[in-house]
Amino acid sequence: MEIAVKDIQGKETGKKVTLDDSVFGIEPNEHAVYLDVKAILANKRQGTHASKEKSMLSGSTKKLKRQKGTGGARAGSIKNPLFRGGARVFGPQPRDYSEKVNKQVKALARKSALSAKVKDNEVIVVEDFSFEAPKTKQMVEFKKNFNLDDKNSLLVVANPNKNVYLSARNLQGFSVVSACDLNTYEILKAKNLILCEGSVEEIVKTLKK
């Protein structure tokens, strides 16, 4: 499949880039996408939540009152979960939420997400570009040229580009990622996927290993 290449002003350059059908033209596998996105979101969780159980509290372990004859419920130490300042029953403890997904499934998920974007006409290819210095104003103009103001968009560059990244850092709903770091969740989250010409080859190279 061929797609026209545009310049940073949003105009046709007359060039076309061929999108590899084995990466950009497969039948999307929804289950692979689900597994990969689920793992990505799970791996972002820190799992540092914690609450104190009875063994972690400081306090007397003396029985508060006799077992029978008071007319009230039985009570053990002051650390009883029923009392104010007592322990918590089955509270959260630090844990690892990360999930493992096989490389083949991850690759299939990314191919599926990219193919779905192409199918929905949500992929734009632009010439490789860079900025002499980080300027948010230049990236704002770039967004206007492609009518991306009210849409969540993702720009994929071939290689890490500090000036382009810093220019987009303060823009809401717009992010920059290098081709090697592209993941399924970011692809699906973006309404529009803008691929730099050089990134297309890098994506294909990565997913066809």
pLDDT of residue 165: 93
pLDDT value of position 151: 78
**Segments of the chain scoring below 70 in pLDDT:** none
Q: Which of 123, 110, 111, 118 is nearest to 40 (CA)?
A: 110
**What span, in angstroms and rounded, lies between the C-alpha atoms of 169 and 179?**
17
Domains, the chain, ranges and CATH? Answer: 2-45+98-207 (3.40.1370.10), 47-96 (no CATH)
Over the stretch 112-122, which tens digit does the pLDDT of each residue have?
999 999 999 99
Q: What is the spatial distance between Cα 190 and Cα 203, in angstroms, rounded to a whole number?
A: 17
Q: Of the candidates 183, 107, 191, 113, which has an alpha carbon nearest to the alpha carbon of residue 154? A: 191
> How many residues make up the chain in this entry?
209
User: 3-class secondary structure for 39-81?
Assistant: HHHHHCCCCCCCCCCHHHCCCCCCCCCCCCCCCCCCCCCCCCC
pLDDT tens readout for residues 137-175: 999 999 999 988 777 999 999 998 899 999 999 999 999
Q: Is the pTM of this model over 0.85?
A: no
Q: Residue 21: its pLDDT value, please?
A: 92
Specify the DSSP element, H or E, that contains 31: helix 30-43
CA dihedral 186, 19, 168, 132 (to 10 degrees): 150
Mean pLDDT of the chain: 92
pLDDT of residue 64: 87
pLDDT given at position 76: 87
Residue among 174, 202, 193, 179 nearest 116 (CA): 193
Q: Are strands 192-196 and 153-157 parallel, antiparallel or unpaired?
A: parallel
Of 157, 147, 166, 168, nearest in space to 196 by CA: 157
